[in-house]
Amino acid sequence: MVWTSSALKSAVILNNVFLAISGEQKVMCGIVGAVAQRDVAEILINGLHRLEYRGYDSAGLAVVNLQHELQRVRCLGKVKALNEAVEKSPLIGGTGIAHTRWATHGAPSEDNAHPHVSGNFAVVHNGIIENYEELRALLKSRGYVFTSQTDTEVIAHLVEWEMRSAGSLLEAVQNVVKQLTGAYGMVVMDRMHPEHLVAARSGSPLVIGLGIGENFLASDQLALLSVTRRFIFLEEGDIAEITRRSVDIYDRDGHKVEREAHDSNLENDAAEKGKHRHFMQKEIYEQPTALINTMEGRVTHNNVVVEAIGNGAKDILEKVEHIQIVACGTSYNSGMVSRYWFESVAGVSCDVEIASEFRYRKFVVRPNSLLITISQSGETADTLAALRLAKEKGYMAAMTICNVAGSSLVRESDLAFMTRAGVEIGVASTKAFTTQLVALLMLVVAVGKAKQTLSTEKEQDIVKALQALPAEIEKALAFDKHIETLAEDFAEKNHALFLGRGEFYPIAMEASLKLKEISYIHAEAYAAGELKHGPLALIDADMPVIVVAPNNELLEKIKSNIEEVRARGGQLYVFADKEAGFSEAEGMKIITMPTVNDITAPIYYTVPMQLLAYHIALIKGTDVDQPRNLAKAVTVE
């Protein structure tokens, strides 16, 4: 539906909240805004298309025309439906805002979709307003009528209220944010003064795209790559006023500040699937190139370049006596693998903890302890909160392993080790995980060198293994057709169990996470030695058991665990090294893998697990790239 200004005066709506991944509320929503001399509706919709990876249930946009009428279209479902609605009733105007919403407060519906309007003002918002109930009660006492169930609607009404006494929209928004508790990234538009937009960021990322005679806003630079390559990343507490020819930014205290502009090197077609059926499939196949990019300039023919980790890295790593890793979801699993490496290769003790647990418990900081946060997006709320808490608790230094250069974790850490995975659209991380593992293994070598606990021979062996890995991953991808056939066995399955030992236990955890994320099969992962302590009770002919079995020092142990499953009638799928001595038998299928170096084997064995989850999801008919209830980055807890 298209709304005229008269209709909008009586429509008081607004909302949104966004976030996701790994069991928390998720960064599911997307924001796009524009101030230009040309019509912007097509730019806004194109930007929303590029943000579809985040996950959402409704979409909308609003544009101000030359008659100062605010035209709004909202719909339930995909951006494609929004585009079709706009084609039927074109929106004409050079200033506009758009949004994709993932429901938290209020069910998915057109009424709950963004933009929301109060009087002359339209708002789009990502995040969660924690004190919305008390603000809602206050606004009702002032006579405001609420037409949505969202927490965001209070922002629109607060803006309308504050504008009654404020001298400008900027001042009104500055007054509004002082009343908000929670996380938000928001953009406000005034139909009577469409020459500018005002944006505010607290806990939810926003980026300004700089053009020539036009400027843009978005929650991710990916949304704007078709119109600009130059960006300013807003920092915590920033409020920005954007016009066609100017960008003015103010910090949380109201002081005007300068934020550095950056040129993006992201590819304009990064949000396109190309020849692949899904983004997840594309990103699985991009892993050999992504791993090369991760190692470029950091690995020579026989050593890891410590200085490439960051300025001052060598001095920090020399002093490290303990490492504390904090992360969520897939990033937590990569940290779990690296714990084995830090202790066995570098000789440094290492603990790994889920960020949402770490930040809320009382912990003891060990002497000379390095905090390492891991996050694909660099905006994961719990991980970011853990970093800020760690700074207060006396950690020696903080490092982040991250994929997004302008993110909050990168800006706020002492050292940032970029994974260079490239844009990852699929909600279920693939290349983000393997590039994190490669980055962590390089870091392990760097710590061992700095601490002089790693021999030259061992370093050269690891470097050789790392350099061979991209080609080995290419060969692993050749198992695709075989795994596709294997996946047919899972068509009617509702449960699965993954087993691994040592550093392959976290690989089983990651495999389990991938399967449950995109196929909705209930999957669990166990250290194989734990079978006798409970999981054996689950084993029967309907419970497939997937085992990761490389030819290492724990091979005989894992073989014993496999026999425990066989004795109870379980159906086994064993991904085993060709030298491990397995042969198929009743109730046991063997997927024979080539021999790879022990140190990089966890990374290698990840790829067939990804392919298995992908093909099972295809058979199940689920939305592979945008699985239900999930999204790409968690920007609120």
Active-site residue set:
29, 632
Contact 622, 10 (CB under 8 A): no
Contact 613, 508 (CB under 8 A): no
d(CA 94, CA 82): 19
Distance, first Cα to last Cα, the chain: 34
- Contacts of 135-140 with CB under 8 Å at 24 or more apart are 135/179, 135/180
The count of other CB atoms within 10 Å of the CB of residue 181 is 13
Residues 6+ apart with CB under 8 A from 146: 12, 136, 139, 140, 153, 157
Among 36, 119, 46, 125, CA closest to 86:
46
Contact 234, 250 (CB under 8 A): no
Among 403, 459, 432, 430, CA closest to 599:
459
Cis bond upstream, residue 506 (ω within 30): no
d(CA 40, CA 94): 5
Q: Is the Cα torsion angle 318, 320, 321, 325 positive or negative in sign?
A: negative
Among 81, 187, 182, CA closest to 125:
187
Among 630, 625, 602, 629, CA closest to 614:
625
- Contacts of 109-113 with CB under 8 Å at 24 or more apart are 109/58, 109/76, 110/1, 110/58, 110/74, 110/75, 110/76, 111/13, 111/147, 111/148, 111/149, 112/13, 112/15, 112/58, 112/148, 112/149, 112/150, 113/15, 113/58, 113/59, 113/60, 113/74, 113/75, 113/76
Phi, psi of 208 (to 5 degrees): -100, 130
d(CA 324, CA 532): 31
Angle at 167 between CA 164 and CA 168, to 5 degrees: 95
DSSP, res 54 = G
- DSSP conformation letters of 67-98: T--EEEEEEES-HHHHHHHHHHS----SEEEE
Angle at 401 between CA 399 and CA 402, to 5 degrees: 125
Among 131, 431, 486, CA closest to 280:
431
DSSP, res 377 = S
Amino acid at 537: A
Q: What are the C-alpha distances in Å from 524 to residues 247, 476, 513? A: 50, 24, 8
Contact 608, 487 (CB under 8 A): no
d(CA 201, CA 125): 10
d(CA 395, CA 415): 13
